[in-house]
Each structure stands twice: as structure tokens, then as C-alpha cells.
Structure 1
Amino acid sequence: MTRYCFTSRVRPDRLDEYRRAHAAVWPDMLEALRDSGWRNYSLYLSQDGLLVGHFESEDYPAAQEAMAATEVNGRWQAAMSEFFVDSGNPDEGFVLLEEVFHLEDQLAAAGLSTTPTGD
């Protein structure tokens, strides 16, 4: 499983609406994400509209292609497009970031336990 992180930009005047939309994502969208191979998916939003997403996938291009093929994704992207600074399909505008540190990977590489040792 590979970890991915991306950024995008939500319009600052639409932050509250964006938060509300993501407080109760449509059940068929949740199922489509799950069934398309998106795992451990989270979104983080700053007060200036910076959106940071993190997820895991066995194959990101395949997961994105599988989502694009679903009917619900088209409806969801159309509904979400008004919230983003850049026009177009929001999930095609991700800027993927390079992972430069992961604690558990480095603990394992150093032969150290990932479980806290206590006091």
C-alpha cells in the first residue's frame, strides 16, 4: 500500500459550505471510493482554503480511473467544482506531494519498535 498526499485550493468564501458537504458525504460516494481502492482517506482544510488530502492505495492511477468510471463521481465532482479556485474537475487538479518522512518506516528501518516503550 502506497501513501499519497495532495493539495488543492478551496475558495475562501466557501469554506463553511465545503465543510458541511464533507460532514456527510453521500453513501454511494463513500462506497465508490472504498470499492475503487481508496484507503485511509482524509482531508484537511486551512482557514485560507488550502486543502490537503492523504490516502493510501495499491495503485493510485487505477483507483483514480475506477472512480472516474463511476456515475456518482461525476455527480460529486460537478457539485464540488463550485468550491474550488481552479476550474474543472476537482479530483483531476490534485498536486501530489513527495513523502520525505514517515516515522514508522524509519523506526522499522532502524530496527526499532513502533510501540512506545513507556516511562
Structure 2
Amino acid sequence: MSYWKGRNAMIRYGSVIHVKDEKLEEYKSLHASVWPEVLDRLRKCNIKNYSIFYRDGFLFSYFEYTGDDYTADMAKIAADPHTQEWWRLTDPCQYQVKSALESEWWASMEEVFHMN
């Protein structure tokens, strides 16, 4: 995680999770047409520039957070019925990395370099 402060604060988040080999194509298919309600909730909760990358059984997530209460915004996302239904489809495609904290589904990654 990293941040810069100026007119508007922005924090970069990276995380990682495994994708099940037999579920990779299903996961890609789901993300080829993410539900508009899910995307709208992310936008309303100050998530910008969100990407997910794949390599060798891992999914790597990156997004920028521009709000001022990350915990509250994440709670709003988790409470959203459309997002909960989306997760019911995507979660079975994934499993935690060994180093994930007990409270993490996607494990946080440490940012070691950024070129602005």
C-alpha cells in the first residue's frame, strides 16, 4: 500500500489470491461482463483504476482508493446485495494464498516500487 497527498488523497492497493485451474475460464468469463451494479458500487465507494491480472495460478488485484474512510467504504461494498451475489459466483473460483491473514480473502501485498 502506498499513497500520495495533494488536493485529493489516493492510496494504491495490491492483493493476491489463487484461482482454481478448473475455474479460470469461468472467472475470466464473469469478469468479461461484470455486472453494472457491482461496478457502480465500487465507484460510489471511491475505487478507481481497478485491474486484475493473472499469472501461473495467481490473480493479482490493483486499485486506487480516493476516499477518506476506507473501512466504511469497504463495509458498504460488503453489505451491497449485488456484490454479495457476485461474490457467491466468484469466490468458489478462488482460494487463499498461504500467507493470507485469517481476516483476508485476497491477501494484501506490499508495494516495493512505484514510478509516478
TM-score, normalised relative to structure 2: 0.78
How many percent identity over aligned positions?
Answer: 36
**CA RMSD across the alignment:** 1.4
Matched, 1:49 2:57: yes
The letter for the 1-side match of 2:31 is: H
The 4+ residue runs of structure 1 with deviation greater than 6 A are none
Ranges in structure 1 where 5+ consecutive residues have no aligned partner: 87-91, 105-119
Alignment of 1:91-106 (within 5 A): 92-104=104-116
The letter for the 2-side match of 1:24 is: S
Alpha-carbon separation, structure 2, partners of 1:28 and 1:20: 17
* Displacement of 1:61: 2.4
* Displacement of 1:19: 0.5
Query: Considering only CA atoms, is the larger Rg found in Structure 1 or Structure 2?
Result: 1
Higher helix share: 1
Tell me what 2:70 maps to.
Answer: 60
Matched, 1:11 2:26: no
TM-score, normalised relative to structure 1: 0.76
Q: How many residues align?
A: 98
